[in-house]
Amino acid sequence: MRRFAFVALLALSAPLHAAIRGAVFSSDGTPVDKARVAAYRRETMIDWRERVVAGREREAIGSATTNAEGMFSIDTKVQGVVDVIVSRDGYAPKMQQVLVDDSELAIDLDAAATRSGRVTAGGKPVANAIVIAETSEGVAWSTRTDEKGSFTVPDPKRWTSALHVVHSDYAPLLVDATTNASLDIRLVPGASVRGRVLGSDRAPVAKAKLFAGNWPAGTTRDDGTFVIAHLDEDIKSIEAYTPSEFGSAKRAAEMEIKLETSHSISGVVRDAKERPLQGASVKAWPTQQPSLSDMRAAISDDKGNYRIESCGAKSYRVFADAPDLSFEEGSASLRNSRTARADFTAQASAFLTGTVIDDRKHPIAGAHVMMTIAQMPLIYALLQGEEGMPSARSGPDGRFRIAMTKQYQEFGDTTQLRLQATHPRYAIGVADLKDSAKPVAITLHDGIEVRGNVKDKDGNPVAGAAVILLQDPFGAVAVPLEMVLAGGHSEAFIESDGAGTFTVHLNETLHDLGVWKEGFAGFRLGGITPVKGQKPIEIVLQPGVEIRGRVAAKKSGIELEGLVAVESAEGMAQGTTAVASDGTFAVRSLRPGTYKLQYTSTLSRLSAEKVVKAPATDVVLELNAVGEIRGRVVDKATNGALPGFNISATNEAASSFNNGEFEGTETFMLAVRAGSVSVTATAPGYVSDTQEVTVGEEKPATVTFALTHGRTITGRVVNEHGLPIAKADISVSEQSIEGAQTADDGEFEIAGVPREPVKLDVQAQGFIAKSVDVEGDADRRVDVVLSAGRKVAGRVVTATGEPVEGAQVFGNATSGDGMQFAKSSADGTFTLEGLPDGRLSFRATRSDLGEAELEDVDPAATSVVIAFPPSTGTGTIHGAVKGFTEHGWTFGSVVAGAGSQEFIRRDGTYKLENVRAGDVELRAFAMTQRDQVTTAPVKATVVANQDIEVNLAFGTDIVLRGTVTEGGQPSAFRAVGFSGEQGMRRTKTNESGAYEITGLEPGLYRVDVETSQRQTYNTQYQLSGSATFDIAISFAQIHGRVVDETGAPQPGTQVEVSEHSIATDANGAFTISINEADAYVVTATKKGFATAVQKVSDARTPVVFTLVRSGGLNVRLTDARDGKTLDGYVVATNDAGLVAARANEQQKDGSFNVPLAAGAYRVSVSANGYASQSIRATVPSNGELRLALTPGGNLIVHTDKPSNDLVKLVMPSGEEYVRCQCNGIAEIRLTGTTTTIDHVAPGRYTMQVLDAQGRIKTGYPVAIGEGQTTTAEVHVPE
């Protein structure tokens, strides 16, 4: 909400009368006179739709008309939150929620020309049709058609995306205002359905309210029957409501709707002073499997009371909302009660306040004030959507007020923010946010007047062209500001007038300019530095061209609505356009050229793409191989239909996903990409089930789910004193079940839990996480007591012992578990709660001081004092980045170490200030929409209070070219990336599939290529100089079957190849698409069986796994110093060197079970903060295998030149030292010229440096001591 303060805060007692005061401005900051401002009591969506259909006007509780200064005042007796709607000819209406207090409003109106529309049916005009426009805030406008079916509306494209059209003789219609250029609206009668409504006692229900698609559809007769004469074809179900019951049924010609008892949630909403708050919106969503149709809402009354009706016997998350206020989330459980309560009290709001003034200290009214990131360029525009930041308008006295949500307060703790203010008659101004609690003064200077003339190619003036500017832009070329406008990410700062002219006022520095108007190709101009008396900028807008086409599918019945994303040959996103239900689309206002069109359907996530040259017509985007899944879902116990269920289908290989909700039926059909598909059925209160099927283009896959009614686990989470813990998170381990969060009373509920024994994982901030075993079969109640754990107090200080305020402090077990965090106070002290017992590690960070650590200590024996290293002062680094300007990069930055970063200026220079003195490593990074690149690292020594010069360069001497093909055909517009220690470079292929990369240094690179299936194909390339490297994308299909020792198929077995995994289908079969290689390691894992692994050299040969049941190997990790059991990782390799099994989940007693078959293995173990160990073990084993770990020592390797070679540490026995991390074997690779290898087990090793083929290049003896750091100086041969 945009507000500014003119008067003192409200007194504690609420007044009997209240006034809503403020001013209305146009988007350019000009006061708007004769605008009607009306205030209304708030209403829910259902309330306003019932009112509109019934023909009742909304009654204003007060209204006013703005004066010449745009000011207004409305007297009203209503307190709390109201809807305010502002309307004026020539402008789009504006609706916003307002918290009535003594703050004053500043309301923007966007200019919008009046457009005419017409509603017809069967070629004849439809009179008295209701045309309604909604915004994100609610219904802002409505009208009725005249006898000719005509109506007028402020241009909807300027303020809303859709219009609703309602008439009693026709089906309600939703019109996409962005694609219906003529507003020629055609209604259809729709279809007729009839039926009856039965109560929970199965008696007919009279006068039940009926709804279709959230629109009122009539009421039942005295005998419970009904007829809905005009139903839209997209409506899938009908809902029925009475004051005490509700229900729904799937649409059919003859329907029967059975009602169930209605439950309700009620409570009180209070403001931050604990006064009742009227007009707050309260919404309730089911905690499990929520959908939009399940949402229930209410508005609080004058006593703050609300009541949400028609809820089911479920648990709900409840949210309260009011402008400028924030509320904690609430919860309510209705499973065992017809009523539940959730009260809300607002948290005190924080505001940024200030004044906008000119050079003469006069207040400036109508200035747009916006929060921005300090490092970013200043923009003359009003950003929209996700790009937008908190903003406000200044009032007649120049004052403004911006509400600071908790999100932005936390954002400001880590990011330097500032305020910018813009006004068309002034140059942009800024103010730093050093103390957000103090009022800010922003001065706007008169600036230099710059004029512009906008014409078309024939020299005619173009009115209404949108203009935005950027001050001090980054990048070597003009920023594509016109695309910001075309994509709807920003409103214009100013528009050209009827003569095609515009005037702006700029500061005397560098600017970029963007101009755009629909129907024209955009215009951009970079490098404008204004000079007094300069000539007007002449801007010629070229006609835009179009791409028109349709999305086509071989199969009928596929819903084609979706989006087409458009990308230029340079990799520049050109925005998106909607695809209509018949598959048609049109992309307008393009420059002639080559574009990639990429379609994604809204519902089924089906995709298609094509490269075309604009202008183009009759473009056909053919959907890639599409198949169908058909099936049924029933209750396993009764074999009857469920009230409703959800089906999701995922083809991971093709990145395709589809899901659907089904009610009142047991059958379903979904479209999905052909191939191996994972299908999951879920239903409230039932245990979900997943099956793997193979979908063909011509042959639909069929599947039947018989779901088991799950059980419910309820309980309460309390602390050691028996007090409830709110907002504790509870999840069911190793189950795809939505978890729960405890309510204020500590209660929780999870439904649909399998009948077998399960484990609950419980965690809450400030407490030690806990896992609880829950017995199987029946519903269970589980009360959980969480320990506050260890409370550790400490201090953060500088190297000289001075306290450090505002440092972020983190503490956790040395193994990495149980992290908690806090912030140090003014005296440097902090307190962490909920830490585990045993040895702990601590870390403190502050941007200007860097990072300090205190590792592996026992707080019971040692004071916790985290000291930052001695300050060596700060210095400055400046220099130039060669190749930045020459290549035309649109963005670039230089990074020094871990904390200093600055943009590269347009001339290729940079300057880093306040860089900590000492040795640092610098890199430059640059990008366009198409390409990305980094330089090789450069080392420098920063001297305190001195400015050093360090020049960097994007190399140009090595050129790598090639062509990317897929299936033997050129692959156009595909992302190609080369990354290695020497740097990174990304680009895209052209329309012929060719790519070219310059500037890479010799070395080994990982190569990633985007495929047409939206997968990533990867390989490696050893670069030694300029070369041609063609990339032929090819995949292998690894297929096979998994059975047990009896030959029975094992569905649900996880089969993994190179990080790609899939579950076997009902026949135990699997197929995985994988990068083609010389050999593949395939692993099969299923609970209760030993993991099986095979190395496959021929992908055409089916892989058959025979799983054997095994108790595996139990392994316990302990701290060698205190014997405490540790969490960590266990990896077992067989004699062939293959990973035979892994484990990273502790059992109830803290040990790990490694699913191994009988045999001999090398077992490698580790934990965070500890050195790895390896030992030989045999399965089966007598008892558990115990390994005691220590932190080990560190090895720092300095090389005489940058290297990314692999390193092996070889023990005296000749075996390689294994670093076991993250549930796998971690390689050791050199990084640049300095590599730190931490937590190495004490001992003597030979450190071998290997080339890309695994041959030994050199070797050095090293000795590692416990708790010691060893340094090795290494010469790396070519």
For the segment 747-772, the average pLDDT, to the nearest whole number, is 87
Q: What is the dihedral of CA 226, 232, 236, 242, to 10 degrees?
A: -40
pLDDT at 1222 over 60: no
Instruction: Look at 433-442, 526-535, 878-887, 916-925 and tell me which has the smallest mean pLDDT.
Output: 433-442
**Same domain as 101, residue 10:** yes
pLDDT at 555: 75
pLDDT at 307: 97
Looking up residue 1076, the CATH number of its domain turns out to be 2.60.40.1120
Higher per-residue confidence, 540 vs 577: 540
pLDDT at 817: 76
Instruction: Identify the band that residue 690 occupies on the pLDDT scale cut at 50, 70 and 90.
Output: confident
Asked if residue 1114 is part of any domain, the answer here is no
Model confidence pLDDT, tens digit, residues 844-866: 988 778 789 998 898 988 889 99
**Same domain as 773, residue 815:** no
Higher per-residue confidence, 323 vs 126: 126
What pTM did the predictor assign? 0.77
Asked if residue 1243 is part of any domain, the answer here is yes
pLDDT at 655: 63
Model confidence pLDDT, tens digit, residues 117-130: 999 999 999 999 99
The residue assigned the tokens 């050209």 is 496
pLDDT at 431: 93
- By the 10 Å C-beta count (0-12 exposed, 13-18 middle, 19+ buried), 54 is classed as exposed
pLDDT at 10 over 60: no
pLDDT at 1221: 55
**Same domain as 572, residue 642:** no
Instruction: Identify the band that residue 16 occupies on the pLDDT scale cut at 50, 70 and 90.
Output: very low
What is the edge-to-edge ordering of all strands in the sheet holding 1193-1203? 1232-1240, 1193-1203, 1269-1274
Where does a domain end: 261, 295, 313? Answer: 261
Model confidence pLDDT, tens digit, residues 128-178: 999 988 776 666 788 999 999 999 999 888 888 788 999 999 999 988 776
pLDDT at 1220: 67
Structure tokens at 960: 């790598």
- CA 821 to the chain's CA centroid: 24
**Same domain as 335, residue 254:** no
Least Cα distance to 527 among 885, 903, 929 occurs for 885
Instruction: Look at 41-55, 730-744, 1079-1093 and tell me which has the smallest mean pLDDT.
Output: 730-744
pLDDT at 1203 over 90: no
Give percent above pLDDT 90 in the chain.
48
Per DSSP, the three-state class of 634 is strand
Rounded Cα gap, residues 286 and 302, in angstroms: 27
**Same domain as 680, residue 602:** no
pLDDT at 981: 72
Give percent above pLDDT 70 in the chain.
95
For the segment 1154-1180, the average pLDDT, to the nearest whole number, is 93
For the segment 585-597, the average pLDDT, to the nearest whole number, is 89
Asked if residue 1174 is part of any domain, the answer here is no
Looking up residue 1265, the CATH number of its domain turns out to be 2.60.40.10
pLDDT at 388 over 50: yes
The domain tally of the chain equals: 14
pLDDT at 977: 92
Rounded Cα gap, residues 1066 and 1068, in angstroms: 6
Asked if residue 467 is part of any domain, the answer here is yes
Looking up residue 798, the CATH number of its domain turns out to be 2.60.40.180
**Same domain as 298, residue 239:** no
**Same domain as 672, residue 597:** no
For the segment 661-669, the average pLDDT, to the nearest whole number, is 81
Least Cα distance to 289 among 651, 655, 562, 659 occurs for 659
**Same domain as 862, residue 809:** yes
Where does a domain end: 811, 846, 867? Answer: 867
Which range in 586-595, 728-737, 1223-1232 is most confidently predicted, on average pLDDT? Answer: 586-595
pLDDT at 1183 over 80: yes
pLDDT at 940: 92
**Same domain as 1041, residue 1029:** no
pLDDT at 656 over 70: no
Decide if 1090 contacts 1110 (C-beta within 8 A).
yes
Structure tokens at 344: 């809300």
pLDDT at 179: 63
Asked if residue 761 is part of any domain, the answer here is yes
**Same domain as 564, residue 494:** no
pLDDT at 640: 87
Per DSSP, the three-state class of 552 is strand
Domain ranges, residue 642: 626-707
Rounded Cα gap, residues 153 and 134, in angstroms: 13
Instruction: Identify the band that residue 919 occupies on the pLDDT scale cut at 50, 70 and 90.
Output: confident
Report how far apart, in Å, the C-alpha atoms of 1100 and of each of 477, 967, 1058, 1079 are.
51, 18, 17, 12
Where does a domain end: 1018, 1033, 1048? Answer: 1033
Asked if residue 470 is part of any domain, the answer here is yes
Model confidence pLDDT, tens digit, residues 219-276: 999 999 999 999 988 888 899 999 999 998 888 889 999 999 999 999 999 998 999 9
**Same domain as 82, residue 54:** yes
Instruction: Identify the band that residue 9 occupies on the pLDDT scale cut at 50, 70 and 90.
Output: very low
Rounded Cα gap, residues 1012 and 444, in angstroms: 51
For the segment 838-843, the average pLDDT, to the nearest whole number, is 90
Per DSSP, the three-state class of 425 is coil
**Same domain as 632, residue 614:** no
The residue assigned the tokens 């392994």 is 1115
Instruction: Look at 494-503, 1224-1233, 1269-1278 and tell me which has the smallest mean pLDDT.
Output: 1224-1233
Asked if residue 566 is part of any domain, the answer here is yes
Asked if residue 1164 is part of any domain, the answer here is no
Instruction: Identify the band that residue 739 occupies on the pLDDT scale cut at 50, 70 and 90.
Output: confident
Decide if 880 contacts 951 (C-beta within 8 A).
yes
Instruction: Identify the band that residue 387 occupies on the pLDDT scale cut at 50, 70 and 90.
Output: very low
Higher per-residue confidence, 503 vs 408: 503
Instruction: Identify the band that residue 8 occupies on the pLDDT scale cut at 50, 70 and 90.
Output: very low
pLDDT at 1141 over 90: yes
Per DSSP, the three-state class of 887 is helix
Average pLDDT along the chain: 88
pLDDT at 886 over 90: no
Q: Name 452's bridge partners.
A: 502, 537
